[in-house]
Amino acid sequence: MALEVNGKTYETDEEGYLVSLGDWNEEVGKFLAQQESINLTDAHWEVINFLRDYYTEFQIAPAVRVLTKAIGKKLGADKGNSQYLYELFPYGPAKQACKIAGLPKPTGCV
Amino acid sequence: MTTKQFMIVNRKAPYGTIYGWEALEVVLIAAAFEQDVSMAFLDDGVYQIKKGHQTKGIEIKAFEKTFRALEDYDVTKIYVDQESLTERGLTADDLTIPVEVLSRAEIGKRMEEQDIVLAF
Amino acid sequence: MLHIINKSPYDRPALDSVLKTGTGTILLIEDGVYAVAKGGAAESKVKAALGKFKIYALTPDIEARGIADRVTDGVIQVDYAGFVDLVAENKTNQSWL
């Protein structure tokens, strides 16, 4: 499968996740968000950038429980809870936010 | 959810085979489901957590970095076999994460305590 | 003859088997490169073999495994192009799988 943004084609897997991490840029992120019917705000970008940094550091997309805890540690307890994250990404912060951030599906995410 | 005691036993070097990465994925999944997970590194498995992997040349993900996320997953029981380290000229200082170095007999005892042992 | 070994000396006896063949050229790749890390039990075997064998090891595999700082003296490091040259230079070669 593939998606097209600004005339460029990007390969995705059967669930719509980018195959190559290096393909990602903000425009692709915006396109993926649109497909998920999400209007990206600064709060969304904060989570997306957090996930990309986490991936660079640990080479994995974290499970929801781990994401919640790690965000709480870095961005404050008001953001480190699942209610906040599900408001931003209603179909699951790990699943949806990872897809928009261009990361693979988190390990253990069904 | 019922919590069980899992031990994932690693005996293979990284990159030469896929076993090391597969074992780590099992650990992450079990931990994501809040199971009580420990890891044991024996034989060539100790090389998985040797510091300083530079994998650009072989174009494989350097999953040494992923071991450092184990703390976030509350996986802190990491046992390493002393004999295996010594045979390979390694010490705990050569490893990328804090571990508990144990004798083979001690590791055997920990294995006995588990509900489930998965070997890779 | 070029002997190519891709198994760790601590896991399989491939290196010992090759050394018993007497003489020639050895190229260590993949997990085989652990043989050239100083400090381990394989170090003395490799050192003793250096008189009879030319021993090469693949740099990308050494770097991937975090042992670039402890390669036994006398072992020659090659990149992928060097790997190809070795295969081309030797009349026969054998992978000890």
B71 contacts chain A (CB < 8 A): no
To the nearest 10 degrees (0 to 180), the angle between helices A42-58 and A64-75 is: 110
Q: What residue type is B15 in one-letter code?
A: Y
Q: Per-residue pLDDT averaged across A20-28, rounded?
A: 91
For chain B, which ranges sit under pLDDT 70?
none
The burial of C70, by beta-carbon neighbours within 10 Å (0-12 exposed, 13-18 middle, 19 or more buried), is given as middle
What confidence score (pLDDT) does residue A93 get? 83
What pLDDT shows up at residue C79? 98
The answer, yes or no, to whether residue C18 has pLDDT greater than 90, is yes
| Residue linked to tokens 């396109």 | A31
Phi, then psi, of B23 in degrees rounded to 5: -65, -40
Nearest CB neighbour to B89, from listed C40, C59, C61: C40
pLDDT digit string (tens) for C37-66? 999 999 999 999 999 999 999 999 999 999
Q: What is the pTM of this model?
A: 0.90
Q: What is the mean pLDDT of chain B?
A: 96
Q: Which residue segments constitute the domains of chain B, with CATH numbers given? A: 5-119 (3.40.1260.10)
Question: pLDDT at position B102, please?
Answer: 98
The number of C-beta contacts closer than 8 angstroms across A and B is 39
- Cβ neighbours of residue A89 closer than 8 Å, sequence gap 6 or more: A36, A38, A44, A47, A95, A96, A97
Tens digits of residue pLDDT in A92-106: 887 899 999 999 887
Nearest in space to A17 (alpha carbons), one of A79, A98, A107, A108? A98
Judge residue A13's burial from the number of C-beta atoms within 10 Å of its C-beta, 0-12 exposed, 13-18 middle, 19 or more buried. exposed
DSSP line for B38-104: EEEE-GGGGGGGBS----GGGT---THHHHTTTTTTT--EEEEEHHHHHHTT--GGGBSS--EEE-H
Helix segments in chain A, DSSP class H: 26-35, 42-58, 64-75, 82-88, 98-100
**Confidence band (pLDDT; 50, 70, 90) for A109?**
low
Nearest Cβ partner for B72 among A59, A62, A64: A62
Q: Domain map of chain A by residue range?
A: 2-100
**pLDDT single digits (tens) A75-85:** 999 999 989 99
Residue B24: its pLDDT value, please? 96
Query: What pLDDT, on a 0 to 100 scale, did the predictor assign at position A108?
Result: 60
Q: Which of A83-97, C16-30, C59-73 has the lowest mean pLDDT?
A: A83-97
Superfamily for domain range A2-100: DsrC protein, C-terminal domain (1.10.10.370)
- pLDDT value of position A104: 86
Which chain C residues have a beta carbon less than 8 Å from that of B41? none
Mean pLDDT of A29-50: 95
Domains for chain C: give ranges and CATH numbers: 2-96 (3.40.1260.10)
pLDDT band of residue A58 (cuts 50, 70, 90) is very high
B102 touches chain A (CB under 8 A): no
Q: Residue C95: which pLDDT band, with cuts at 50, 70 and 90? A: very high
| A110, pLDDT greater than 70 | no
Quote the ipTM score.
0.91
Residue A8 makes CB contacts below 8 A (sequence gap 6+) with none
Q: Do the Cβ atoms of C64 and B64 come within 8 Å? A: no
Residue contact A58–B68, C-beta within 8 A? yes
User: Token pair for residue C4?
Assistant: 């190519």
